């Protein structure tokens, strides 16, 4: 079913919207959530909560991209759950991806105080706009979706080594970009 019709079902407050949503994007949501969470029950709860979140948000929201909107909710909920489970689980794909970013982030905590995460998001968007499409997608797939190098290689047709080199280069660019804007 096209996204427009699923959104129309949400606006009509038809429960069929949730069935259609799960049928179309359930596997994408579970895959994304499992990058953050070990326990399948946590994954299922996060995905269910994301559906509920979407049900509450639409309407009034009318997302341009239903799956991107949904993925954001799933990621946020999974991240929150992940942080709650953080001490016990240290082997998720998301954590491995985030460790790579550690080197290009300031070590001191004062930055969080001075900088709201929303501001950082806008800065990151400006940085992403400086990248070409392929490098931007690789960056998002690695650090937003926590895809493995292998996953990204299959998506882009590049070798894993090439993906790794490109990400290293992009992280350096990000570090320089943040330094120039005194975020560092």
Partner 1 sequence: MNTSFFSSALSQLDEKYIEEALSYPRTAKHHWWVKLGAAACFALVFTTVLFLSSSRSGQSGVTSPGLPPAVITTTPVSVENSPSETPGEPQPSETIHIDLGNIVVNRNLDAMPDAARIYYDPELYDEVLWDQEDVIGYYGRDLIPSWVPDGLTALNPEAVLRAQIRKEDGTVAEDTLHLSFYQVYGTWDDGSPRLIDENTVRHGFTLSASKVGLFNCGIVYVRLEDAVKASDIAGTPVTIGYRAMPYGPYDPETHEPAGYYDLYVAEFTLNDIKLQVVAEQMELEDVIKVVVSIIQPNLEIVFEQ
List residues near partner 1 by CB under 8 A.
1, 5, 15-16, 18-19, 23-24, 63-65, 67-69, 71-72, 75-76, 79, 83, 94, 98-99, 101-102, 105-109, 111-112, 115, 117-118, 120-121, 124-125, 128, 133, 136-137, 140-141, 143-145, 154-158
Are 62 and 56 a contacting pair, CB within 8 Å? no
Q: Which CB sits closer to partner 1, 2 or 40?
A: 2
Least distance in angstroms from the C-beta of 176 to partner 1: 15
Are 29 and 18 a contacting pair, CB within 8 Å? no
Q: Which CB sits closer to partner 1, 43 or 97?
A: 97
Question: What counts of helices (H) and strands (E) characterise the chain?
Answer: 10, 0
Measure the CA angle with vertex 121, ends 117 and 123; round to 5°: 115
Q: Which CB sits closer to partner 1, 1 or 38?
A: 1
Q: Which CB sits closer to partner 1, 43 or 146?
A: 146
Least distance in angstroms from the C-beta of 2 to partner 1: 9
* DSSP-assigned letters across all residues of 56-120: HHTTT---SSHHHHHHHHHHHHHHHHHHHHTTT----HHHHHHHHHGGGS-SSSHHHHHS-HHHH
End-to-end CA separation in angstroms for the chain: 46
Least distance in angstroms from the C-beta of 7 to partner 1: 14
Least distance in angstroms from the C-beta of 54 to partner 1: 13
Least distance in angstroms from the C-beta of 79 to partner 1: 6
What are the tokens at 99? 């460790």
């Amino acid at each position: 079913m096209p996204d427009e019709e699923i959104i129309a079902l949400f606006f009509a407050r038809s429960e069929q919207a949730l069935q259609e949503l799960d049928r179309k994007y359930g596997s994408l949501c579970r895959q994304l959530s499992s990058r953050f969470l070990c326990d399948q029950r946590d994954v299922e709860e996060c995905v269910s909560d994301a559906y509920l979140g979407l049900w509450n948000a639409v309407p009034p929201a009318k997302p341009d991209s239903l799956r991107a909107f949904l993925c954001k909710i799933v990621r946020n909920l999974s991240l929150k759950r992940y942080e709650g489970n953080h001490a016990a689980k240290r082997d998720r794909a998301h954590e491995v991806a985030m460790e790579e970013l550690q080197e290009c982030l300031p070590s001191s905590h004062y930055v969080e105080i001075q900088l709201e995460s929303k501001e950082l998001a806008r800065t990151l968007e400006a940085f992403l706009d400086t990248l070409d499409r392929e490098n931007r997608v690789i960056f998002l797939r690695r650090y937003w979706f926590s895809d493995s190098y292998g996953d990204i290689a299959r998506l882009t047709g590049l070798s894993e080594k090439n993906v790794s080199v490109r990400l290293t280069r992009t992280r350096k660019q990000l570090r320089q970009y943040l330094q120039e804007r005194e975020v560092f």
